[in-house]
Amino acid sequence: MISLNLLPPAQKLEQKNQNFKHCAVRFTFILVIVELVIIVWACSFWLYLRVQAQALDLAWQKGQEFLAGFSLDLDVQTKALNQELELAEKLLPEIKPVPAVLELLSPVVKNGLYLKTWAWSSQNNKLTIYGFAPQREQVISLKEFLEGQPPVKDLQAPLSNFVKDKDINFSFSFVYEF
């Protein structure tokens, strides 16, 4: 549809100015609303960043406190561990794997033959075993078995081991090379 403006030129100019004023007011109103939205968004973002920074600062302080306590605790644990290691280092030369000897003897300890006790000399790696055998043949087979083992050196068997025929309390001394 076509609209014709048949107003006089002065009124036409006034209507044009009025339309321009209305457009300027609308534009200014929209611009103010957009600026307010941007300001509210910026304030919200600033508040969010402030809360995050405070939380991060608090976490940093708690972490520093924890690490300071942990560091002291770690120092104490390290000193205690070093003391235990020094003690173990001192005791290590005295500890010998006697279970290896007992494992070595396990195939011949049967049929009534048993070991009562053993004594270990750490100065010369000398092991003395004491036991009981119901028959002399078992003592002889134990002696032969020990003589045939490579880690057993310098086997000493007292003659009293072989005097009795039955119910023999025996002992053998030997150097065991670990």
Domain boundaries of the chain, sorted by first residue: 10-93, 98-176
Amino acid found at 62: K
* pLDDT over 90 at 139, yes or no: no
* pTM reported for the whole predicted model: 0.46
Paired tokens of 130: 């004491």
pLDDT of residue 94: 66
Phi, psi at 4, each rounded to 5°: -110, 135
pLDDT of residue 70: 66
Amino acid found at 142: L
Query: What Å distances lie between residue 164 and 41, 109, 169, 173, CA to CA?
Result: 107, 19, 9, 19
User: Rounded mean pLDDT of 36-40?
Assistant: 96
pLDDT of residue 34: 95
The position carrying tokens 């957009």 is: 34
pLDDT of residue 178: 65
CATH architecture of 98-176: 2-Layer Sandwich (3.30)
